[in-house]
Chains A and B, each alone.
Chain A
Amino acid sequence: AQKVTQAQTEISVVEKEDVTLDCVYETRDTTYYLFWYKQPPSGELVFLIRRNSFDEQNEISGRYSWNFQKSTSSFNFTITASQVVDSAVYFCALSEASQGAQKLVFGQGTRLTINP
């Protein structure tokens, strides 16, 4: 069965530090999709990135970068030069092609606090 593990429950850093959020997944499918979402205090989940299992290229978007490694079943998220506005709960999620519709399985979430 599919599973997503975010081992870091809470992380607290000082502004401008770099921080990496870990995500490890389990799946038997060869075709699957990985996502990261941000949940600010307002509650809405904001989509950050989607990656399919055939694309292992790392991606950078401004201060955000993602490292996808199939060999270790990991999809880690790094924020460079963190800012207070990055404070939120971050979720990693997985969907499997064999499940048809895009049912997401979420990790437990990592609460990130950036202190000024």
Chain B
Amino acid sequence: DVKVTQSSRYLVKRTGEKVFLECVQDMDHENMFWYRQDPGLGLRLIYFSYDVKMKEKGDIPEGYSVSREKKERFSLILESASTNQTSMYLCASSPWGRGDTIYFGEGSWLTVV
């Protein structure tokens, strides 16, 4: 089975802190994604990566950056956390190929106070 693991399930950070959310997948997938989930808005794509060191902005990249130094690991970085970034963050991965299934991790609940 595909396994997407997010390092932290629950985090509480202070405004202005730098926050790292880590994600690891064990299926050698080319694509990795970071989504944000908010009530009434569904899931929105922040960034995705289709190869090591490659990244593309999603629909809501402002305030975020990403890093992919190894194929299995994709990090989401909040350079200076703000309260409006309090949310559920979901990492996902998929093999290369159109229409392939995207597999999700369990999510990280981030609260910025």
B101 touches A47 (CB 8 A): yes
- Closest-by-CB residue of B relative to A9 is B40
> At the interface, yes or no: A45 with Cβ under 8 Å from chain B?
yes
Q: Which residues of chain B are near A102, meaning CB under 8 Å? A: 31, 94, 97-100, 102
> At the interface, yes or no: B104 with Cβ under 8 Å from chain A?
yes
Q: Which of B88, B102, B106 contacts A104 (CB 8 A)?
A: B102
B40 touches A50 (CB 8 A): no
* Segment touching B, from A56-64, A71-79, A105-113: A105-113
**Interface residue count for B (Cβ, 8 Å)?**
30
- Closest-by-CB residue of B relative to A46 is B104
* Segment touching A, from B18-26, B42-50, B79-87: B42-50
Assess A45 versus B94: contact at CB under 8 Å? Given A101-B50, A104-B43, A106-B42: no
Q: Which residues of chain A are near B31, meaning CB under 8 Å? A: 101-102
| Tally of A-B Cβ pairs under 8 angstroms | 69
Q: Which of B42, B88, B102 contacts A43 (CB 8 A)?
A: B88
CA distance A52 to B99 in the complex (A): 7
Q: Which residues of chain B are near A91, meaning CB under 8 Å? A: 42-43
- Binary CB contact string for chain A from 78 to 116 against chain B (1 if under 8 A, 0 otherwise): 000000000000010101010011111011110000000
- Closest-by-CB residue of A relative to B30 is A101
Q: Which residues of chain B are near A106, meaning CB under 8 Å? A: 42-44
CA distance A35 to B31 in the complex (A): 17
Assess A97 versus B43: contact at CB under 8 Å? Given A43-B106, A44-B105: no
A44 touches B50 (CB 8 A): no
> At the interface, yes or no: A30 with Cβ under 8 Å from chain B?
no
Assess A50 versus B101: contact at CB under 8 Å? Given A43-B88, A44-B106, A102-B31: yes
Show the binding face of A for B, using Cβ within 8 Å. Answer: 4, 6, 9, 31, 33, 35, 37, 42-47, 50, 52, 91, 93, 95, 97, 100-104, 106-109
A–B complex contacts, Cβ < 8 Å, 25 sampled: A6-B42, A33-B98, A37-B104, A43-B90, A44-B104, A44-B106, A45-B104, A47-B101, A50-B99, A50-B101, A93-B43, A95-B99, A97-B99, A100-B98, A101-B48, A101-B94, A102-B31, A103-B33, A103-B45, A103-B48, A103-B58, A104-B43, A106-B42, A106-B44, A107-B42
